[in-house]
Amino acid sequence: MESLKKRILAEGQAIDADILKVDGFINHQVDPVLMTEAGKEFANFFADKGVTKVVTIESSGIAPAMMTAAALNVPMVILKKQPSKKLNPKLYQTEISSFTKEISYELTMSQEFIGENDHVLIIDDFLANGEAATGAIRLLRFAHATIAGVGVLIEKSFQPGRKKLEEQGIEVCSLVRIAKMETNHIELMD
């Protein structure tokens, strides 16, 4: 996606070789025009997959996932990072370790909203080591759902996330792929 590439090069900030800060348009302040376009891109890419639900992980994935769900006209399901006392007690849960945030958390999904007939498109902001996506896939497999694919705004192609997903036969659509980063330097693929 050209507009996202330009934005990352203009406003993204490579803190070091691993951490890309994009909180001016994705993670803290969010550009609705960019997100609308991203949602349409994902909807087009996975148009023939019979997607019935878009799934994302709170909270940075919600904006692009909402726009993807709107473009596909299917519900979005938000995987929660901790069990809420107020939710349905029938939950699927799995533990995730986040490299970027150096924490572990329980990823949680109510059994009510995903079933064996669902074809699920997973949308997130970043794909790096693939912990969040593989965790989401574990949960969705507990529910016997079909994984239609994974769409991310930004892939750090120098980290193994895409490889892990493709080895499981999962199709990945990354709107921008980053080949390499150093402090204050971002190199895109292609």
Is 121 near a copy of itself (CB under 8 A)?
Answer: no
* 3 CB-contact burial (10 Å; exposed 0-12 / middle 13-18 / buried 19+): middle
Query: What pairing do the DSSP bridges indicate for beta strands 76-79 and 53-57?
Result: parallel
Residue 103's DSSP bridge partners are 98
* 49 CB-contact burial (10 Å; exposed 0-12 / middle 13-18 / buried 19+): middle
Residue nearer to a copy of itself on the CB measure, 15 or 166: 15
Is 160 near a copy of itself (CB under 8 A)?
Answer: no
Is 28 near a copy of itself (CB under 8 A)?
Answer: yes
Is 23 near a copy of itself (CB under 8 A)?
Answer: yes
Is 29 near a copy of itself (CB under 8 A)?
Answer: yes
Is 139 near a copy of itself (CB under 8 A)?
Answer: no
Tokens coding 67: 């726009």
Is 88 near a copy of itself (CB under 8 A)?
Answer: yes
Rounded Cα distance, 38 and 29, in Å: 16
Is 4 near a copy of itself (CB under 8 A)?
Answer: no
Is 159 near a copy of itself (CB under 8 A)?
Answer: no
Contact (CB, 8 A) for 152 and 164: no
Under 8 Å CB-to-CB from 130, ≥6 apart: which residues? 159, 160, 161, 162, 164, 165
Query: Site map for a copy of itself, 31-70, x if CB under 8 A?
Result: xxx-xx----------------x----xx--xx--xx-xx
Is 152 near a copy of itself (CB under 8 A)?
Answer: no
Positions that interact with a copy of itself (CB under 8 A): 15, 19, 21, 23-25, 27-33, 35-36, 53, 58-59, 62-63, 66-67, 69-70, 73-78, 80, 84-88, 100-102, 110, 112-113
